[in-house]
Chain A
């Protein structure tokens, strides 16, 4: 199994505007070194998720520069951003966003159905199977609609890692889980990130998650708070 190195993120003068033209997020300067885990914290509606979408190349009206390694997401076309996400990024969402009708493996290896190269397709399936096993979901033939919340989120992690991306983006990954489950999930997420040398950006309200990060940044009223404290 190949292990890709993490990518670093450098963002300058980033402004994200709402459809009306109002600036909803501005980031003067942000640097995330390759292989680090960053927590994003802040009140609801402050712009945490917007930051995540912006660095994923999903936000619509963005100016400035958001560079993963040498690739500036802002300058890419719609199709090239999708291709970048496809090959370089894994995603974990608050409410899992799985296809209930597919098995755990079907979900984890979702990317195999839209990757052209048959070698890559096999690698995705192989990694998805391995991650599911590592996450204690070896019996992966069941449809996920019978899974618990914790199991579902682990399937989502397996999916996020199946294409061996250098970058992992998580949006409130523990918010839908009870405490013990959330703790176990954070363990898994951090362990897999670190062992793979990946860069992790996790938006969360969860102090337990923040504690496990290398660094936590705060977003207040659409701005990166100055003097962001390092982890506790």
Chain B
């Protein structure tokens, strides 16, 4: 029977599971709330208590909001980073490069973080490009820059693969043409001279006399490629005084096929296979002494799993914080109950049912906890949005924070637990001596 239950659970759609978890967290509260408040009206008095100690109450709500906000922000931000970096790498099915660090190569080829890496030679490139399972083998030749934007040599097919078509203008058809990314510092019609290298180390004037003209513009991709300027890979070779990938009689050709003898080398090749299995097979085949083949997604997943460990530590910390906050909320409620003791004793003296006194105290606690939790959700989401925007600005990786089910479950769990804990001070009120409190 448990197995069948488990199977039934696993067969539910994810959304239904999420909703069921939420309902499971909230249902006990609804049931308890209905039992406690049924046919009573604790709102005016709970409201009076909230208003009378509004500054202490506001402090409480803030405390809860900050602790919930930290948890929500952490989870939301982590997911935003994970999906953002993954989406930016989405088009990079398989990278083949000279042996070295997969991480370095991924950062260089996918996220355009420049590094000095060895090159793949023409023979190897031909072997890849001519492999029966390969549908796209695009050289990615990075190293130059213009005003901080990477200038990357590649092929028209790659641009088509990356963007699904240009936003405006045309694809490059000559050595002097360039296509700019959506956020690149060059517009259609601009001409510019590339610098050798990157950042502070870029050598201005190393490529003196070479100019490109921007002839097309890519749509936004949510990746660092938005900042890049793409040129024919032949032009990059040409600028560096190397062979240009084609035999002299085809010197003006742009794009594949390349001649292995005139192929000076490329730091990385993006490979795409139409058949799903072929990518795995190619990865296996080109993992060998002279080549390294990897899925950027797999490297990211490893990175994410490291992040996941950090996330676990942080979420344990977040949970511990929330337990501490729940405990201090409880302590605070007990203290506040002393402030309210005389009025609650009055209610009991007048003959109000215990359930009513209980309902007033619990509704009051519920208002504080609920307001704090909601505010925390908003705060956490807001913080994640701000941080995501800053990350996007700095890295060009589109990072978008959202409110997801894990955060909603976290908040619901926090509310459920603290509301259950809040039953304790409500019970404690009922055990107080009415006469003593009345005379206080």
Task: Say if the two chains contact directly (CB < 8 Å).
Answer: yes
**A58 CA to B351 CA, complexed, in Å:** 10
Least CB distance from A100 to B in Å reads 7
When C-beta atoms are compared, the residue in chain B nearest to A169 turns out to be B349
Give chain A's interface secondary structure class.
Answer: helix
Q: Is the CB of A84 within 8 A of B351?
A: yes
B-binding segment of A111-119, A129-137, A185-193, A215-223: A111-119
Interface string of B40-63 (1 = CB under 8 A from A): 111111011001100000000000
Interface string of A85-107 (1 = CB under 8 A from B): 11101010100010111100010
Q: Is the CB of A113 within 8 A of B48?
A: no
B192: interface (CB < 8 Å): no
Q: Is the CB of B351 within 8 A of A101?
A: no
Residues in chain A near residue B352, CB distance under 8 A = 82, 86, 111, 114
Residues in chain A near residue B40, CB distance under 8 A = 113-114, 116
Least CB distance from A73 to B in Å reads 12
- Of the four ranges (under 10, 10 to 19, 20 to 34, 35 or more), the interface on chain A belongs to 20 to 34
B356: interface (CB < 8 Å): yes
Least CB distance from B49 to A in Å reads 8
- Of the four ranges (under 10, 10 to 19, 20 to 34, 35 or more), the interface on chain B belongs to 20 to 34
Of the residues B48, B52, B349, B351, contact of A87 by C-beta under 8 Å: B351
**A87 CA to B354 CA, complexed, in Å:** 15
Residues in chain B near residue A58, CB distance under 8 A = 349, 434-435
Of the residues A91, A99, A111, A114, contact of B349 by C-beta under 8 Å: A91
Residues in chain B near residue A116, CB distance under 8 A = 39-40
B348: interface (CB < 8 Å): yes
Least CB distance from A131 to B in Å reads 16
Interface string of A157-174 (1 = CB under 8 A from B): 001000000000000000
B433: interface (CB < 8 Å): yes
- 19 more contacts with CB within 8 A, not counting A58-B435, A85-B349, A113-B41, are A60-B433, A60-B435, A83-B351, A83-B353, A89-B351, A91-B350, A93-B346, A97-B342, A97-B343, A102-B45, A106-B44, A110-B350, A112-B41, A113-B40, A113-B42, A113-B44, A113-B45, A114-B352, A114-B356
User: Which residues of A approach B to under 8 Å, CB–CB?
Assistant: 49, 53, 56, 58-60, 78-79, 82-87, 89, 91, 93, 97, 99-102, 106, 110-114, 116, 159
**Pairs A–B under 8 Å by Cβ, sample size 23:** A49-B439, A56-B349, A58-B434, A60-B433, A82-B354, A83-B353, A84-B351, A85-B351, A86-B350, A86-B352, A86-B353, A91-B349, A97-B346, A99-B343, A101-B52, A102-B48, A106-B44, A111-B351, A113-B41, A113-B44, A113-B356, A114-B40, A114-B347
